[in-house]
Amino acid sequence: MELNLSNKTALVTGSSDGIGLAVAKGLAAEGVRVLINGRNADKVEAACRQIGEQAVPAVGDVSSMEGVDAVLAVVREVGGVDILINNAGTGSNETIMEAPDDKWMDYWNLHVMAAVRLCRGVAPYMEERGAGVILNNASICAVQPLWYEPIYNVTKAALMMLSRTMATEFIPKNIRVNCVNPGLVQTPDWENTARELTKDSGGDWEGYLQGVADELAPIKRFCSPAELADFFVFLCSDRASYCVGASYYVDGGMKITI
């Protein structure tokens, strides 16, 4: 299937590993120049080496205004982008009663304000080019929360609503905005957590992850980052030109409501 993505430019936040890196690799395989973002310059450079000449480093912590400014400086250097994927994020672990305000604000800035600031920065370039695609990576937890991460649940729900509101505002500019809500994806974060939790009980981290999948996903397995990336790449393409303002679930049947 021809996706007509060659010679486009994309910015993928949080793309030095995990889902973001998989999406960046998927786009690069279609001929897209990809701006690789992360807070750690060494990890960004390592990711760029994996992808090759189509990768451009864009180091910056997008949860801060200064970090967003650093990333947008790279966007200016390359002449703008056709695609923005707001992927940077991480899980949380707290209770509402015990979580301090600072933690709430840190996640708000990472999951919501980063997307707001970057969209404001790249939309003019997309409008000049006549078209653009923005994808916001939220989570199934936006609608089906896990009890132990209320901050993650709330901020991802806000990102989902931001996506829908932004789609309405941006469609007259021919900029398509959609949201993706993944379920269980076997990222390095999940693997590291599993290793930590099983280190004193035999170290069967793979068995731990299988238990999580058995409990939460009817498909009984985790999604691979590459598998999820295929869906992102499709939504970036002309093949998805009528997809606007939607939230798509890639969750192996985890969502139990219609």
Q: What are the residue ranges spanned by the domains of the chain? A: 9-185+224-247, 186-222
pLDDT of 116 over the 90 cut: yes
Give this prediction's pTM: 0.97
Checking DSSP bridges between strand 9-12 and strand 247-250, what pairing results, if any? Answer: unpaired
Contacts of 216 (CB under 8 A, 6+ apart): 183, 184, 254
Which pLDDT does position 1 carry in this prediction?
86
Among 12, 73, 62, 10, which Cα is nearest to 40's? 62
Helix (H) or strand (E) holding 115: helix 114-129
DSSP one-letter code for 248: E
Per-residue pLDDT of 174-229, as tens digits, reads 999 999 999 999 999 999 999 999 999 999 999 999 999 999 999 999 999 999 99
Which pLDDT does position 244 carry in this prediction?
98
Catalytic residue list contains 152: yes
Q: Which of the listed CATH numbers 3.30.70.20, 3.40.50.11540, 2.30.30.90, 3.40.50.720 matches domain 9-185+224-247?
A: 3.40.50.720
Q: Is the separation of the CB atoms in 147 and 161 below 8 Å?
A: no
What is the secondary structure of 153-206 as a DSSP string? HHHHHHHHHHHHHHHHHHGGGTEEEEEEEE--B--HHHHHHHHHHHTTTT--HH
Per-residue pLDDT of 44-58, as tens digits, reads 999 999 999 999 999
- The side-by-side arrangement of strands in the sheet containing 83-86 is 55-59, 33-38, 9-12, 83-86, 132-137, 175-182, 247-250
Which pLDDT does position 243 carry in this prediction?
98
Which pLDDT does position 73 carry in this prediction?
98
Instruction: Give dist(CA 131, CA 175) in Å, integer.
Output: 5
Checking DSSP bridges between strand 175-182 and strand 247-250, what pairing results, if any? Answer: parallel
Instruction: Give dist(CA 111, CA 149) in Å, integer.
Output: 14
* Catalytic residue selected from 107, 125, 148, 152: 152
Q: What is the mean pLDDT of the chain?
A: 98
Which pLDDT does position 153 carry in this prediction?
98
Instruction: Give dist(CA 87, CA 95) in Å, integer.
Output: 24
Q: What is the mean pLDDT of residues 86-91?
A: 97
Q: What is the mean pLDDT of residues 142-160?
A: 97
User: How many C-beta atoms surround the C-beta of residue 126 within 10 A?
Assistant: 23
pLDDT of 87 over the 90 cut: yes
CA dihedral 198, 200, 203, 204 (to 10 degrees): -50
